[in-house]
RNA sequence: UGCCCGAUGGUGUAAUGGUAGCACAAACGACUCUGACUCGUUUUGUCUAGGUUCGACUCCUAGUCGGGCAGCCA
């Protein structure tokens, strides 16, 4: 299954959009399949974007095509370079080793050069160069050509400069069930429109004083065809173009033409743009463009149980300091998942598993958790760590003696390797693995009971030592050293096996245990997601970890045996003391109740 | 109530006029030096009503329910 997202030879998933692409390929409608992923740099990418990235890059790689990363940055007021950098990093991480060869980049600083196609002016931007000195595409790099397109549209009598105020424009637009009215400026001459538009660009008018609008149909049942705005005046500096422009194109105008300029064939977006498709096509067709036109297709965005999939709301969590930042391991952002230890392949596998449809459903988080565990089970190095330590003394092992035990690094490997862990007189075991009064079917250690220490031997609990307050201080046990692997009692069966670390050889580490950020399946169903934040989404413990873990590095998948999957936090550690994030717990079919995260 | 989109087990998705299948979840069982993994078994589904057809999840009509659209946001 994982092959499907890691191997180029693996069968691709099928969905209605891929069916359309396949038809276009069969009909040879395009020389090359080119998709794009067009985030607005006004926030970090989240799991919903991951779905879109996997779709767009997946289609590109399955068809020997290309997928352009394009900053959809036509609104200077909301965007920032901080987001541009984060988006690039997140996309590259997500597609690394899978579709990075399909990533469209352009030479740094390049803008589309005017050229002629079929004897007509065209602005086609050629194929992407290699990654050196390259950068993603920016819609703002097309402001020049876009302006020319607008001039062409005016020349064709299909756009006009409108002097209505924002409020008046809204009134003239009508409502869904009532047609709009023509703007009094709709009949301006081409010459006057040309002059006024040039003066808008020259900065002669204040913000909102005039706008450029398409001349379509104010009575259209589709609101997006009621003379939609194409350009607005904003005397605001732009993060990518500086103060070069004071008029900025709106999404509908910029997007279809950016697609065209880049040679996009399939422009895939979410369902809320279905109504805009008529405008997308109208603009492209009105311009009489020489090359094959891109087409827009829409799919349902991801809705995930117990999580927020909205940049705006995630921004709120950051601003109100409910999380430590966009990359807080509890955040459903790509950066958050990465920091938490979720492998990119697991996110890709999830994207494939949920499919692509036009049905607006709610995906069970359990599916995400499943793909994470599936990937981690394959790849994670097994290690011993005790999260909530209780001291245990093996009374028949002399102090100072170290018994070397071979521990398997990953039993899922074809040829598993081992490492040595030292068993000593004093060890730590998990507090949960001892019960003075055991519940029914308790397989772990209890007074007078036996349990196997993983990779070591069977022990028998002889005595429970308590302090004056009645709290357990330590457990005294005897070890059956003959029950070690290869020993005469190696085949001895006990019901339970527990993990442990040497008290003298282990080291301390901070471990952060995460639970879901929200305690209801649809956090914003009532519009009050802040009231559904799980107050116990983070628990910090000081754990004892086996010495081999001192060499662990961020990005390395680890399993603390019997506990879950963990990863070194790339940001939080201090020299000499590592911090681990629990990526996800192991599936627990014994402890009842809601699935732990 | 104008236009648009959608509806298949608990959840997500397949079947494109010919046996309703897969994954997740759940339950039970086997195995186990991870109560994990793996394996086996089981439960549960085509929104409603008409129509077309030898045959409808699929096509048509109407309805029901859900979602989207009235930013100079994307």
In 3D space, the residue among A267, A317, A276, A252 whose CA is nearest the CA of residue A52 turns out to be A267
Indicate the pLDDT class of residue A190, thresholds 50, 70 and 90: very high
Each residue of A264-277: pLDDT tens digit? Answer: 999 999 999 999 99
Output the pLDDT for position A80: 95
A12: which residues sit within 8 A by CB, 6+ positions away?
A: A4, A18, A58, A62
Partner residues linked to A333 by β-bridges:
A46
Query: Would the pLDDT of A353 be above 70?
Result: yes
Each residue of A131-150: pLDDT tens digit? Answer: 567 889 999 999 999 999 99
- Region A323-341: mean pLDDT is 98
Distance between CA atoms of residues A377 and A335, nearest Å: 22
Output the pLDDT for position A576: 84
How long is the CA A510 to C1' B67 vector, in angstroms? 45
In 3D space, the residue among A473, A432, A424 whose CA is nearest the CA of residue A588 turns out to be A432
Output the pLDDT for position A127: 60
How long is the CA A13 to C1' B59 vector, in angstroms? 27
Nucleotides of B under 7 A from a protein CB: 1-8, 10-16, 23-27, 33-38, 66-74
Q: Quick one: which H or E segment has residue A523?
A: none
Query: Would the pLDDT of A284 be above 80?
Result: yes
- ipTM tops the 0.90 cut: yes
Output the pLDDT for position A117: 74
Query: Would the pLDDT of A153 be above 50?
Result: yes
- Region A341-364: mean pLDDT is 97
> pLDDT exceeding 90 applies to what percent of chain A?
90
Partner residues linked to A566 by β-bridges:
A558, A582
Indicate the pLDDT class of residue A260, thresholds 50, 70 and 90: very high
Distance between CA atoms of residues A371 and A351, nearest Å: 10
Output the pLDDT for position A107: 76
Distance between CA atoms of residues A595 and A597, nearest Å: 6
How long is the CA A271 to C1' B61 vector, in angstroms? 26
Tell me the nt nearest to A562, Cα to C1': B34
CA dihedral A528, A533, A535, A537 (to 10 degrees): 180
Output the pLDDT for position A1: 35
Token pair in block for residue A555: 């990005």
Q: In order of start, what are the domains of chain A with their CATH numbers?
A: 144-250 (3.90.800.10), 305-379+507-597 (2.40.240.10), 384-505 (2.40.240.10)
- Look up the pTM and report it: 0.96
In 3D space, the residue among A44, A19, A50 whose CA is nearest the CA of residue A349 turns out to be A50
Output the pLDDT for position A11: 60
């Amino acid at each position: 299954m994982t092959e499907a997202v890691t191997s180029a030879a693996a069968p691709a998933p099928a969905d209605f959009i891929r069916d359309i692409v396949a038809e276009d390929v069969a009909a040879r409608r395009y020389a090359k399949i080119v998709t794009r992923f067009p985030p607005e740099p006004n926030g970090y990418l989240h799991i919903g974007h991951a779905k879109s990235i996997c779709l767009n890059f997946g289609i590109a790689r399955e068809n020997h095509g290309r997928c352009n990363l394009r900053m959809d940055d036509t609104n200077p007021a909301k965007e920032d370079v901080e987001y541009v950098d984060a988006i690039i990093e997140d996309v590259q991480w997500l597609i690394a080793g899978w579709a990075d060869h399909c990533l469209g980049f352009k030479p740094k600083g390049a803008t589309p050069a005017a050229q002629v196609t079929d004897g007509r002016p065209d602005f086609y931007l050629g194929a992407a160069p290699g990654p050196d000195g390259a950068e993603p595409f920016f819609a703002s790099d097309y402001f020049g050509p876009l302006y020319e397109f607008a001039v062409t549209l005016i020349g064709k009598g299909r756009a006009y400069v409108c002097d209505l105020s924002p409020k008046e424009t809204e009134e003239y637009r009508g409502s869904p069930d009532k047609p709009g009215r023509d703007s009094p400026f709709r009949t301006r001459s081409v010459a006057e429109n040309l002059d006024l538009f040039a003066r808008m660009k020259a900065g002669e008018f204040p913000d909102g004083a005039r706008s450029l609008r398409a001349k379509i149909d104010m009575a259209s049942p589709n609101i997006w065809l009621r003379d939609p705005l194409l350009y607005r005046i904003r005397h605001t500096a732009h993060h990518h173009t500086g103060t070069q422009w004071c008029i900025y194109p709106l999404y509908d105008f910029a997007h279809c033409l950016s697609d065209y300029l880049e040679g996009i064939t399939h422009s895939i977006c979410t369902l809320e743009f279905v109504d805009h498709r008529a405008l997308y096509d109208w603009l492209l067709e009105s311009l009489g463009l020489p090359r094959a036109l891109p087409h827009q297709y829409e799919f349902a965005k991801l809705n995930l149980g117990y999580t927020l999939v909205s940049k705006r709301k995630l921004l709120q969590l950051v601003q109100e300091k409910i999380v430590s930042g966009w990359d807080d391991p509890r955040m459903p952002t790509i950066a958050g998942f990465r920091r938490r230890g979720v492998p990119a392949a697991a996110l890709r596998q999830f994207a494939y598993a949920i499919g692509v449809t036009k049905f607006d459903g709610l995906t069970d988080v359990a599916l995400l958790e499943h793909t994470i565990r599936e990937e981690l089970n394959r790849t994670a190095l097994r290690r011993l760590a005790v999260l909530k330590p209780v001291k245990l003394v093996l009374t028949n092992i002399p102090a100072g003696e170290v018994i070397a035990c071979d521990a398997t690094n990953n039993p899922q490997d074809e040829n598993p390797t081992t490492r040595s862990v030292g068993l000593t007189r004093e060890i730590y075991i998990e507090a949960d693995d001892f019960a003075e009064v055991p519940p029914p079917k308790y397989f772990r250690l209890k007074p007078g009971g036996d349990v196997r220490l993983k990779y070591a031997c069977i022990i028998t609990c002889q005595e429970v030592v308590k302090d004056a307050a009645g709290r357990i201080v330590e457990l005294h046990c005897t070890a059956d050293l003959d029950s070690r692997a290869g020993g005469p009692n190696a085949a001895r069966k006990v019901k339970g096996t527990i993990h442990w670390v040497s008290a003298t050889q282990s080291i301390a580490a901070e471990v952060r245990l995460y639970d879901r950020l929200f305690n209801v399946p649809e956090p914003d169903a009532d519009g009050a997601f802040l009231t559904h934040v799980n107050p116990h989404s983070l628990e910090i413990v000081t754990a004892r970890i086996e010495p081999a873990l001192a060499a662990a590095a961020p990005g390395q998948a680890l399993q603390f045996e019997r506990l879950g999957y963990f990863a070194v936090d790339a940001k939080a550690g201090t020299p000499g003391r590592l911090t681990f994030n629990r990526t996800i717990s192991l599936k627990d079919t014994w402890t009842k109740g809601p699935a732990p995260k």
